[in-house]
Amino acid sequence: MVCFGWVSDLFHLPLDPNSSVPLYRQMAEGIERLIREGTIQSGDRLPPTRQLASQLGLNRTTVAAAYSTLEKAGLIRGHIGRGSFVAGQPAPSSRNTTSGNASRDESTRPPEYPVSRNPMPPQPAANIEISFASSRPSSDTFPLQAFRRVAKEAIESPDAAEILQLGSAHGFQPLRRFLLESARDSGIAGPADDLLITNGCQQALDLLARIFIGHKTPVAVEDPVYHGLIRVFERAGAELIPVPVDADGMNIAALETVLERQHPKMLVITPSFQNPTGATLSLAKRRRVVELARRHGVLLVENDIYSELRYHGEALPALKALDEGGGTILLRSYSKILFPGLRVGWVIGPRAIIAQLAEAKQISDLHSDQLSQAVLLRFTESGELQKHFEKTLAAGAERLAAALDACREFLPPGATFTRPEGGMNLWVELPAPLTAARLLTEAQQHGVDFLPGIYFSPRGDHARGLRISFGGLAPDEIRRGLKILGECAARELGENPTLAAYEAAAVLV
């Protein structure tokens, strides 16, 4: 399986610490075997040594030694700044290239078409029945009938020729105007704000990274945090400074320390139903974050794609609405509330920043696709979005309740989990010594998938954490999946007599 740009198969290498064969050589042989079997192939990227070492509980030098052995055997190739890649097949004559007497095989077999393995987003293995691995709405709940009617209206409309012609980097003008007026009416955008349409929030993060992030630019982020955010900022050169997330959102004392000592240039925060924890920043903390950001002159980026998915409790104002200075940059999107396959999100912020983002957008891809923008505008204006919302919130409440009930019932003693009031995700911490990687191996064999905590860690830790994305599953699937997870965890823990007593996680309820 290829996740996040590198193969995750290496996380399950069988290693025997009691063997007379050194660990690095066991590892090199295991990877060679994966290459020979075709499980990982030429061009595949191996995990960074740090991540792999952390997942396997090894020293980083062990992993580096294994990679070095494979590189000498011509099986992998390292590229500075980009990591290590599978370079070819082991020589057929030698069953054990990495054990010695390597002979390079120059006749590297070209891969067969079609290339079925898809590096991203993570696809469940063939036998996966229930996947908690993707934070997205279920296709079953798509308002298909309304989509078809509305899309046909957009296509039939006299605007069709305008939709099909080259557009503006700022976005399809009617949608842009509608979204900006709505944001003004609801007090989110001020008179000095402007709006840019992006290909979902991921592109908004990417454009922000292009403009504001350079080599070693310090950026404060939640910990744990959405893996796509880690990747986009790390690729841009940022030095991510993790700030722990409590039950009521980012830990403010920790944030203050970070702001005072490390002077981040940017603070990125998901105040509502944060991915992956589901945590929501309280009103008092929201005010404090805005105030601290202003006082320390840090650029505040509010990643706000889940806030409308509140199933219980009272709605809270966006940071952008609380920020009277107006400097906050707000990211929103249609992808979590409607159709992820239509890539339409937007950024609201000070006009000068939006102008820079629009310039970066034009360089990136000229402008966003206009057909989906026109369809989504019509979907919103026609009232269909509001109707769909009511159903979404009812369905979401059921899913959330099913997930929380099942966590209570099935997770092993010592496990902790968050209790969100909305969104699509919650976070589980497993009791030591069980790691998420170990549980995943077992769970996948029983048809259940999830994303281990390591993906959400700016520093490569959270080995015992995992994200449960319940938004795309029916209540009975959620229940069944968590029951299997609980059984797998119990088995793993039962086999290991050193199970530590329950320890409350410091930063999460």
**Nearer to a copy of itself by C-beta: 43 or 297?**
43
Residue with Cβ nearer a copy of itself (133 or 258): 133
Q: Which is nearer to a copy of itself, 316 or 375 (CB)?
A: 375
- For the CB of residue 81, give the shortest distance to a copy of itself in the complex, in Å: 8
d(CA 441, CA 426): 20
By the 8 A CB rule, do 290 and 323 touch?
yes
Helix (H) or strand (E) holding 19: none
171 and 346 Cβ atoms separated by less than 8 Å: yes
- When the beta carbons of 45 and 479 are compared against a copy of itself, the nearer one is 45
Minimum gap (Å) between residue 144 Cβ and a copy of itself: 6
Report, in Å, the least distance between residue 226 CB and a copy of itself: 12
Phi, psi (5° rounding) for residue 25? -75, -40
Cβ distance to a copy of itself smaller for residue 102 or 133: 133
Query: Distance between CA atoms of 189 and 181, rounded to whole angstroms?
Result: 8
d(CA 425, CA 403): 9
428 sits in which H/E element: strand 425-429
CB of 326 to a copy of itself, least distance (A): 9
* In the complex, least distance from residue 78 CB atom to a copy of itself, rounded to whole angstroms: 13
Residue 120 C-beta: closest distance to a copy of itself, Å:
4
Q: Which residue number, 167 or 414, has a Cβ lying nearer to a copy of itself?
A: 167
Question: Distance (Å, rounded) from C-alpha 449 to C-alpha 127?
Answer: 10
User: In the complex with a copy of itself, which residue's Cβ is closer, 339 or 427?
Assistant: 339
Distances (CA, A) of 323 to 116, 150, 319, 328, 330: 47, 36, 6, 7, 11
The nearest distance, CB 327 to a copy of itself, in angstroms, is: 13
- Give 376 or 443: the residue with its C-beta nearer to a copy of itself: 376
| Cβ atoms within 10 Å of 295's Cβ, excluding its own | 10
- CA angle (466 as vertex; 66, 208 as ends), nearest 5: 85
Burial class (CB in 10 A: 0-12, 13-18, 19+), 112: exposed
CB of 92 to a copy of itself, least distance (A): 19
Rounded Cα–Cα distance for residues 34 and 390 (Å):
48
